[in-house]
C-alpha cells in the first residue's frame, strides 16, 4: 500500500475502543473471529464519559460468565433514582423490582468497564487491541469498503478486513469517511461537567436537583460528586460572561448542602463543556462497512442509556455477523438485518428522550420557572408502583439483546 506502511489482515477491524467497540471485539473473539480494536488514546483514563451500567448490560455480563469478576471493579449500586424540586424529593424510578440478576444501576467509571472488557478479550487468541491507533480513512475497491488507513505510535498502517466497523463516537471519523451523514433530531441542552467534594454525611443516592430555572445532576462517586450542570443549548458563553462567582452561586442555590464546597471551582478550567446532540443514521451500513453505537446514533444524557444502547448494538452485531465473518464474507443482507434489529429500539428510545427534553427542560429554563413539583411527577410520589415503569424503560430498554 506504499512505502513505510505496514499491511495487516484481519476478519473485522473496529475503530473505537468505547463500550460498543470493545464489547463487539470481545464477543466476536469468543466466537473465533479474528478482530482488531483500535483505540486512539494510550489508555482509557478519561473523565466525564458515560458510566451508568444498567441492568441490561449486567445481564450481558452474566450471560458471558463475567459478572462476578466484573462486580469486583469499583462501583456504586443505585437501586432508585430521585429528583429534588427545591427540598421536595420525588423518587421516579425503582429498579429493585426488575426480574434480573442485578436490579440496580452500577455506577462504574467507564475506564474500569473498558479495561475489564479489554482484559477479557485478551484471553482469546483472535482478539487484539491496538492502543494509540486512530482510524483515518476507509479504503474501497469496486464499491466495497475493504479496510482502513490508520495512524499509530509506530507509524501509518493499512488494515485489510472483511468488515470495517465504525464505533468511534458521535464525531466519528470513519462514518464521515464512508460518506454517511446522521440526521439531527435536536437537543435543547448542553452540560457543564465538574467535580465537588463529597462528605460521608451527604446523601448516598444519585439524583437531579431543580431550583428556579436551574438543574444539577449529582452522581455519587464516594469521595466526590460528579456533577452535570445543565444549560440551554449554546448557553456556555453567557454563563462564562456572568463570571465564575455567579456560577458558584448558581450551584449553591440549586444544591445548598454543597454551597461551602463550590469554592473548589476557581477557574473555567475546572469545568468541561459537553455539547449534547441527538442524531442517528438512517442507513448504518455500506458494503463492507457498518456503524454502531454513538457513530450510528448519538443519544441524549436523559436516562443515561447511551452506554447500554451501544452494548446492545454490539451484542446484536455479534449474534448476526459472527457466522458470516467466519465464512469470510459479510453481505449487504447481513448488515441490513443488523440495522433492522437495532433501528426500532433506537428510534423509540430517542423519541422518548426528545419528548422528555421538551417536556422537562423547556419548563426548567423558562424565565418564570418555578421550583414546584410538576403535576405528572406528583403521581410518582402518590403511587410508588408507577416507579417501575421508568425503571423498566431505563434499566432494560426496548428489545434487549441476549448473547447467543
| Last-in-domain residue among 254, 274, 294 | 274
Which has the higher per-residue pLDDT, 371 or 56?
Answer: 56
Predicted local confidence at residue 3, as pLDDT? 39
Which domain, by its residues, includes 62? Answer: 6-184+277-395
Beta carbons within 8 Å of 395's beta carbon, 6+ residues apart:
54, 55, 56, 93, 95, 98, 100, 103, 105
Higher pLDDT, 355 or 8: 8
Q: What is the mean pLDDT of residues 72-85?
A: 90
DSSP 295-316: GTEE--SGGG-HHHHHHHHHHH
Q: What is the DSSP letter of 53?
A: E
Q: What is the pLDDT of residues 177-216, one digit of tens each?
A: 999 999 998 888 899 999 999 998 988 777 888 887 788 9
Same domain, 166 and 310: yes
My answer on whether 116 and 20 are in the same domain is yes
In a domain, 51, yes or no: yes
Q: How many domains does the chain divide into?
A: 2
- Report d(CA 109, CA 19) in Å as an integer: 12
Last residue of a domain, one of 255, 274, 293: 274
* Residues 367 and 227 reside in one and the same domain: no
Q: How far apart are CA 221 and CA 197, in angstroms?
A: 10
The whole-number pLDDT of residue 324 equals: 98
Q: What is the pLDDT of residue 50?
A: 64
Residue 344 within a domain: yes
- pLDDT at residue 148 above 50? yes
* Per-residue pLDDT, 221: 80
Burial class (CB in 10 A: 0-12, 13-18, 19+), 46: exposed
Q: For the residues of 75-128, what is the DSSP string, one character each? A: -EEE-EEEEEETTEEEEEEEGGGSSSS--SEEE--HHHHHHHHHHHHTTSTTEE
Please state whether the predicted TM-score (pTM) of the whole model is above 0.85. Answer: yes
Rounded percentage of the chain residues whose pLDDT exceeds 90: 71
Nearest to 131 by CA among 45, 26, 4, 9: 45
**Domain shared by 244 and 345, yes or no:** no
On whether both 298 and 254 belong to a single domain, the answer is no
In a domain, 197, yes or no: yes
Describe the chain by its helix, strand, coil percentages, rounded to 5: 40, 30, 35
CATH of residue 53's domain is 3.50.50.60
pLDDT digits (tens, 9 = 90+) for 341-391: 999 999 999 998 888 877 776 666 665 666 677 777 889 989 999 999 999
90 pLDDT tier (thresholds 50, 70, 90): confident
HEC letters along 123-186: CCCCEEEEECEEEEEEEEECCEEEEEEEEECCEEEEEEEEEEEECCCCCCHHHHHCCCCCEECC
Q: Are residues 204 and 155 in the same domain?
A: no
The verdict on 306 and 267 lying in the same domain is: no
Element (H, E) at 68: helix 67-70
Same domain for 288 and 368:
yes
Residue 400 in domain: no
Q: Which of 274, 295, 314 is the last residue of a domain?
A: 274
Q: Is residue 401 part of a domain?
A: no
**Cell numbers representing residue 128 in the block:** 487484539
pLDDT at residue number 2:
40
Burial group, residue 80, by CB count within 10 angstroms (0-12, 13-18, 19+): middle
Same domain, residue pair 347 and 228: no
Closest CA to 23 of 229, 287, 274, 319: 319
Amino acid at each position: 500500500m506504499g512505502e513505510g506502511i505496514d499491511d495487516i489482515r484481519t476478519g473485522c477491524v473496529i475503530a473505537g475502543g468505547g463500550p460498543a467497540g470493545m464489547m463487539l471485539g470481545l464477543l466476536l473473539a469468543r466466537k473465533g473471529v479474528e478482530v482488531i480494536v483500535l483505540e486512539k488514546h494510550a489508555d482509557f483514563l478519561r473523565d466525564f464519559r458515560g458510566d451508568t451500567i444498567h441492568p441490561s448490560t449486567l445481564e450481558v455480563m452474566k450471560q458471558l460468565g463475567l459478572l462476578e469478576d466484573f462486580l469486583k471493579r469499583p462501583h456504586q449500586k443505585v437501586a432508585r433514582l430521585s429528583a429534588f424540586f427545591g427540598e421536595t424529593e420525588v423518587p421516579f424510578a425503582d429498579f429493585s423490582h426488575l426480574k434480573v440478576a442485578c436490579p440496580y444501576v452500577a455506577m462504574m467509571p467507564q475506564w474500569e468497564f473498558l479495561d475489564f472488557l479489554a482484559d477479557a478479550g485478551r484471553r482469546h487468541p483472535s482478539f487484539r487491541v491496538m492502543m494509540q491507533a486512530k482510524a483515518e480513512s476507509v479504503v474501497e475497491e469496486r464499491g466495497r469498503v475493504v479496510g482502513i488507513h490508520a495512524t499509530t505510535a509506530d507509524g501509518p498502517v493499512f488494515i485489510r478486513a472483511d468488515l470495517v466497523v465504525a464505533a468511534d463516537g458521535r464525531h466519528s471519523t470513519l462514518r464521515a469517511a464512508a460518506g454517511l451523514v446522521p440526521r439531527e433530531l435536536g437537543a435543547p441542552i448542553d452540560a457543564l461537567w465538574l467535580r465537588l467534594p463529597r462528605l460521608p454525611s451527604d446523601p448516598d443516592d444519585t439524583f437531579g436537583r431543580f431550583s428556579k430555572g436551574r438543574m444539577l445532576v449529582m452522581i455519587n462517586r464516594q469521595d466526590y460528586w460528579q456533577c452535570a450542570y445543565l444549560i440551554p443549548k449554546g448557553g456556555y458563553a453567557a454563563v462564562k460572561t456572568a463570571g465564575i462567582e455567579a456560577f458558584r452561586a448558581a450551584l449553591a442555590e440549586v444544591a445548598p448542602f454543597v454551597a461551602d464546597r463550590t469554592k473548589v471551582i476557581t477557574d473555567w478550567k475546572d469545568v468541561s463543556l459537553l455539547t449534547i446532540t441527538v442524531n442517528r443514521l438512517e442507513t448504518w451500513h455500506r458494503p463492507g462497512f457498518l456503524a454502531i453505537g454513538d457513530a450510528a446514533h448519538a443519544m441524549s444524557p436523559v436516562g443515561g442509556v447511551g452506554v447500554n444502547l451501544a452494548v446492545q448494538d454490539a451484542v446484536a452485531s455479534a449474534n448476526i455477523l459472527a457466522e458470516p465473518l467466519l465464512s469470510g464474507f459479510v453481505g449487504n443482507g447481513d448488515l441490513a438485518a443488523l440495522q433492522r434489529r437495532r433501528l426500532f429500539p433506537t428510534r423509540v428510545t430517542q423519541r422518548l428522550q426528545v419528548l422528555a427534553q421538551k417536556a422537562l427542560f423547556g419548563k426548567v429554563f423558562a424565565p418564570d420557572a418555578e421550583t414546584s413539583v410538576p403535576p405528572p411527577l406528583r403521581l410518582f410520589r402518590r403511587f410508588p408502583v408507577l416507579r417501575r415503569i421508568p425503571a423498566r424503560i431505563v434499566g432494560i430498554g426496548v428489545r434487549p439483546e441476549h448473547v447467543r
